[in-house]
Structure formats: C-alpha cells, structure tokens
Structure 1
Amino acid sequence: MRTVSLPHTWAYALRLPHDPRAARVARMTVRAALSGHGRHEVLDTVELLTSELVTNAYRHTTGPASLRLTALADGRLRVGVWDSHPRIPAPFGEPPWDSIRLAPPDAEQGRGLHLVQEYADSWGGWPIGDGGPLDRGAGKLLWFEVGGGKGEGTGTAVA
C-alpha cells in the first residue's frame, strides 16, 4: 500500500479596518505566517508587496480591506487584497501594463505598483460586484504571486 502525501497548501485571511496601521498589521501577519511555514526565501518580497497593496487600499478608500495569503500546491504563494474602490490600477488592469507613470525622484509616493511589476512573478485584478446601491461586495481584488518563474503580469485571475 502506498501513502499519498497531500501538497503543502494553506491559506490565511485577515480583515483590516480602515486604519493607518493596517499595512503594519498585514506585514506582521505575513511575516509570521511565512516564517512559520519555512518560506523565508520569499518573505521580504511578499512582505513588501503586501504592504504596498494594503497601503493603497487605505489611501484610496474609506472602508475596510481584506488580505488573503495562500500557498498553492506548486510552491507559489498568492496574495490577494480586496478593497471597496472599483478602479483597477495599472499594472493590474488591461494591457499595457507598463502604462504606470514613473514617480519623480523626489516624490514621497507613487512607486509601489512598479515594485509589483519588478518583484512579482504574476499579478492581476478584477472588479467585485456591480457597484449598485444594494451591492455590499463592490470593489476590487488585486493579487500577485511569487515563488514561480518570473513571468509576464496578467490582468486576469489565475484559478
């Protein structure tokens, strides 16, 4: 009789209030989860990119955000951040992904999504809900993956 070993998959979800400390809480959670699962090789990248997405959710919305960290069976890690703003920013939307304007060297913001392009293996985003007056789930989900081969970003979801 052969033993079948299941792939080492897991997921963590975190609801974040609209609070300037949300990015710090997200970084600490990601660091604890990845350290606990021995994924030190991607820890700094995932922590940085997660912080950027959560910070953008805080800056561009007035409501809560959600974070989901998932280890996929093939060794990749997927991070998704939901927020209530419906606009999908470049590079997560439709091509061309390189349409993000470069921030001036003295700017204090505007580099985060360039970091996603540089360090994530893949990324994407999609709208959630139709945004109607009774739609409480409206907004968007932005995601990125690391731990696979460096590939082109894509504006569609990867199942």
Structure 2
Amino acid sequence: MPETWDYTLQIPNDPRAVTVARRTLRLILTMHGLTGLVDMAELLATELVSNAVRHTKGPAALRVRHSPEGMVWIGAWDTDPVPPDPPRPLEQVAEAEDGRGLGLVKACADLWGWQPSARFGDRGKYVWCELAAA
C-alpha cells in the first residue's frame, strides 16, 4: 500500500505566494520520491493558486495529498464561495494571458473539480485536481 501524506500551506493574498507555493510543492514531491510529477504538478498548482490569489481578497492555501490509491491531489482553497467559471477549451485561449488556468488543469490532470469548504474558519472553496503518481 502506498504511503499517504497530507500537507497544507497557508498563503497570504500576495502574488509572490504563487512562487512560494510552487517551490514548496516541488520540495514535497521531491522528498517523497515523486520527481516525475514535479513539472506537471507545479504547472497545475501555479494555475490553481494564481486563481485563488488573483480572484479573491482573502488568504488562500495550497493542499497536497498522496492517497492510498497512489494519486496526488493538489487543491487551492480561497475565501470566495462562488464556483469557478467553467474551463474554456485551450484552443480558445492559447495566446491569452487570462482565462486559460482551468483549461490547462482540465487538459492535464487525470481528474479535477471544486467543492465548497469552510476550512480555516472562512467560507470558501477548494479547486482541486489529481495526478496518478504511479
């Protein structure tokens, strides 16, 4: 049975937090021997955390879990309970600076979604994705 673990990094509403979250994720995956997932996981986490920081005014968090089934779950929590806009197809936003984040997540992750959450005492949501670690 694969090792299970769960990390949460609380981050301020600051664009620099995206880099901190990405580098922390790289360290977590490397320390757990999942270097093959690092590049894709960093891309997905960057999109999720960027959305959380850019589109809300409160704090945010990055959560990374490894499940007994061998999946790596990456989620970004923010204080806005409103569901994210549906992802647009990448061909519609290929050169755009905005609007491609969830399209990338949908295209690259094995599974993605969102759920309401009252974590950390604030109403909000998690937008998450999964990658197969095996």
TM-score exceeds 0.5: yes
**Over aligned residues, Cα RMSD in angstroms?**
1.9
Task: Give the unaligned 5+ runs of structure 2.
Answer: none
Structure having the higher Rg: 1
Counterpart CA distance in 1 for 2:113 and 2:133 is: 15
**Runs of at least 4 residues of structure 1 off by over 3 A?**
none
Query: Which AA in structure 2 matches 1:80?
Result: G
Counterpart check, 1:114 vs 2:114: no
Bigger fraction of residues in strand:
2
Return the TM-score normalized by structure 1: 0.75
Shift of 1:148: 6.4
Bigger fraction of residues in helix:
2
Query: Which AA in structure 2 matches 1:120?
Result: A
Counterpart CA distance in 2 for 1:29 and 1:14 is: 8
Counterpart CA distance in 1 for 2:133 and 2:40 is: 13
Asked whether the 8 Å contact 1:121–1:148 carries over to 2, the reply is no
Residue aligning to 2:67: 72
Residue aligning to 2:76: 81
| Higher RCO structure, 1 or 2 (CA under 8 Å, sep 6+) | 2
Residue aligning to 1:124: 113
Percent identity reads 45
Task: Give the unaligned 5+ runs of structure 1.
Answer: 1-5, 92-98, 130-135, 150-159
Residues 16-71 of structure 1 show CA distances to partners (whole Å, capped at 9, x for unaligned) of 00111011001000000001111011111111100111101111011100111001
Residues 104-148 of structure 1 show CA distances to partners (whole Å, capped at 9, x for unaligned) of 63x22221111111110001111225xxxxxx5211111100016
Query: Which AA in structure 2 matches 1:119?
Result: C
Counterpart check, 1:100 vs 2:88: yes
Asked whether the 8 Å contact 1:116–1:144 carries over to 2, the reply is yes
